[in-house]
Amino acid sequence: MDRDMLQENDSRFRVSYWMKREVFYIHKNMMVEEVAWLMHDKEIDVLPVVDEQRKPIGIVTLHSILKDVLFERKKDPVWCRMESQPVSVVHEDDSILEVYQINSPYFLVVNNDDTYIGFLTHAELLKALGSYLEEWRETRNTAEILNIILDSAYEGVAVVDENGIIKQFNDAYSRFTGIKKGDAIGRHVKEVIDNTNLHNTVKTGVPERGVIQYINGQPMVVNRIPIFKNDKIVGAIGMLIFEGVTELYRIYERFQEKSLHRKEEKPYLADHNQNEYSMSQIIGESQAIMQVKYLAEKIAKTEAGVLITGESGTGKEMFARSIHQLSSFSSGPFISVNCGAIPEQLFESELFGYEEGAFTGAKKGGKPGKLELAQDGTIFLDEIGELPLLMQSKLLRVIQEREYERVGGVKKYKLNARIIAATNRDLKKMVETGDFREDLYYRINIIELQIPPLRERTNDIPLLINYFLKKTCTKYGILMKNITPEAMHAFLHYEWFGNIRELANTIEKLVILTEGPTIDVVHLPKYMKDKELLSMGYAQINKSSIIDESKHYKMEREKEMISEMLIKTGGNKTKAAKLLGIHRTTLYQKLKKYGLS
């Protein structure tokens, strides 16, 4: 069966099979301001624009709309502000393979009356490719079809097998990375694409859409889609969307600042959109962190209570937000409460809210608490080990009965939110000492997710350093800096009791204070250099041989002994030389050598 016959006999190769039907669209005379709020509330990045007969005339994007709002063009009709980039109108019966060859990021779908009925992007086309990849392989024209799809794609496309080995690498990806197709195919995807997670998509089978990945120092939007055959993952497809997002984030932040007065009326919006958090953005490929990420993904699919444990700075909140995004509560808000930062006297009103007149100074009309704001979403109780015993009792009752009352009120509020707790303390030991309620401990600790400290996942330190270097240099508009192997060695051997937070702060300080493009050992903080000296000596930094290392330790010990003898003899060099068993002239030579007075 050739390609034409395959398309003709299978409706699944038609646009109508893959397009999004129930998609919002806007009339051309709507004002920019109305469209901006619609896109914000519905979390939509692109909207088709139609005329009075619902015939498509173009699109608007979140990027262009936010710009118009910022530049005070919000009263303009939207048709004046439509994107100038090409938008293709296709028919619902058009062939998927023919549409894919059109160089356009968006497709507006019409019926026989030329009326708008749906929306199509290359993401849907790529999904079609993944679903029928195996079917196409059985046709004699597989190579022709696959090459047409990949090499005519608007986006960069890479296909890997179950081992993460690149099997397909299209021209668009080759142009962006500067790596020839022939050099990419057959290599592991980590060797070719910066900060990729495609090899993990093969392991987890979890699709990821619209996530941010830094490639060649640029933040890019990527989609990752697993390929299944007979319920088994046989590979994955990665698609790179050529649209940097830095400017969009900057515009959106400015837009939010101008809209604060509106957001006060909708307090949940500040934490409502957390799509930027995903498991793929938790940096690390060590076995320790991959096991935690795998367990977190499994936990997210349930509604079980989670206790995230780990030292300060290990990224407990990042895991909590990722679990929220992968859970059935992801459409609701994520509300974070630091139990150690709220005074005990205010904690009850902060958590449960209060009614008007509940106490002196109470806000007119009352105020919703964190539990109420988290409705249909997730409430994250960070540092729960700091929670006072009285509040522990009240929280236990809420978890058991799934309802609560505002302070000063009698109305019962139902709680429909997932509870995730976190702590850097040993709650089990606190239970034994009576500082934490045992019944609450077992209520919140249905599943424990233990985050390893950074010193137990040293293989991830170079990845994290690279990430924070790029992030900090971009933040301050500084040219990209690099780290010497000697400095990297010091980073790997430091214990990082402050974990990732300490590493990030250290990198930021070094980027700001280091002159020139290179960070070396001399630029490191004194405590890191002292630690390096004690753990392996500076000789090993420059030469890794055991002989050089032993020489260094011998010299350090000799220097210490000379200093001790000089102190013991009150600075009398003749007596010190006699105690050391060396000639006085030799002692003078060693004093000069070690810079001792």
Amino acid at 504: A
| 26 plus 106 within the same structural domain | yes
Amino acid at 291: Q
Domain assignment present for 140:
no
State the DSSP H helix or E strand holding residue 318, giving kind and residue range, or none if neither: helix 316-326
**DSSP secondary structure string, 476-545?**
HT-PPPEE-HHHHHHHHHS--TTHHHHHHHHHHHHHHH--SSEE-GGGS-HHHHHHHHHHTHHHHHH---
| pLDDT value of position 310 | 93
Domain assignment present for 248:
no
Percent of the chain with pLDDT over 70: 74
138: helix, coil or strand? coil
* Eight-state DSSP code of residue 97: H
Q: Given a cut of 60, is residue 186 above it in pLDDT?
A: yes
Which residues, other chains included, contact 36 with Cβ-Cβ below 8 Å and sequence gap of 6+?
65, 66, 68, 69, 74, 255
Question: Highest mean pLDDT: which of 81-85, 277-281, 533-537?
Answer: 277-281
Q: In what side-by-side order are the strands of the sheet with 56-61? A: 26-27, 46-50, 56-61
| pLDDT value of position 342 | 80
From 407, 432, 450, the end of a domain falls on: 450
Percent of the chain with pLDDT over 90: 19
Q: How far apart are CA 334 and CA 268, in angstroms?
A: 9
Amino acid at 433: T
Q: Which of 175, 140, 143, 144 is nearest to 157 (CA)?
A: 175
**Contact in structure between 218 and 244 (CB atoms under 8 Å):** yes
Which residues, other chains included, contact 547 with Cβ-Cβ below 8 Å and sequence gap of 6+?
none
* Eight-state DSSP code of residue 14: B
| 20 plus 52 within the same structural domain | yes
From 106, 124, 142, the end of a domain falls on: 124
Domain assignment present for 251:
no
Which pair of tokens denotes residue 436? Answer: 């934490």
Domain assignment present for 60:
yes
| 533 plus 553 within the same structural domain | no
E-strand ranges in 327-377 read 334-338, 353-354, 367-368
Which CATH number do you get for residue 24?
3.10.580.10
Tens of pLDDT, residue by residue over 425-484, are: 999 999 999 999 999 999 999 999 999 999 999 888 988 998 899 999 988 888 888 888
The position carrying tokens 């402050």 is 498
Domain assignment present for 150:
no
Q: Which of 138, 121, 190 is nearest to 160 (CA)?
A: 190
Buried b (16+ CB within 10 A) or exposed e, 504-516: bebbbebbeebee
| pLDDT value of position 359 | 67
| 85 plus 166 within the same structural domain | no
**Contact in structure between 383 and 339 (CB atoms under 8 Å):** yes
Q: How far apart are CA 465 and CA 40, in angstroms?
A: 34
Domain assignment present for 136:
no
| pLDDT value of position 277 | 57
Domain assignment present for 388:
yes
Q: How far apart are CA 297 and CA 280, in angstroms?
A: 11
**Contact in structure between 277 and 208 (CB atoms under 8 Å):** no
424: helix, coil or strand? coil
Which CATH number do you get for residue 217?
3.30.450.20
| pLDDT value of position 98 | 74
| 511 plus 557 within the same structural domain | no
| 14 plus 104 within the same structural domain | yes
Domain assignment present for 255:
no
Task: Give the total number of structural domains in the chain.
Answer: 5
| 181 plus 51 within the same structural domain | no
Which of 188-202, 333-347, 369-383 has the least mean pLDDT?
333-347
From 425, 450, 475, the end of a domain falls on: 450
Q: How far apart are CA 516 and CA 509, in angstroms?
A: 14
Domain of residue 395 covers 267-450
The position carrying tokens 């976190």 is 422
| 364 plus 432 within the same structural domain | yes
pTM of the model: 0.47
Which CATH number do you get for residue 530?
1.10.8.60
Amino acid at 340: G
Kindly state the average pLDDT of the residues 154-169: 84
Which of 70-84, 102-116, 341-355, 388-402 has the least mean pLDDT?
70-84
Which pair of tokens denotes residue 203? Answer: 């392991």
| 310 plus 364 within the same structural domain | yes
| 425 plus 366 within the same structural domain | yes
pLDDT interval class at 246 (50, 70, 90): very low
| 290 plus 426 within the same structural domain | yes
| pLDDT value of position 544 | 41
Which CATH number do you get for residue 577?
1.10.10
| 429 plus 506 within the same structural domain | no
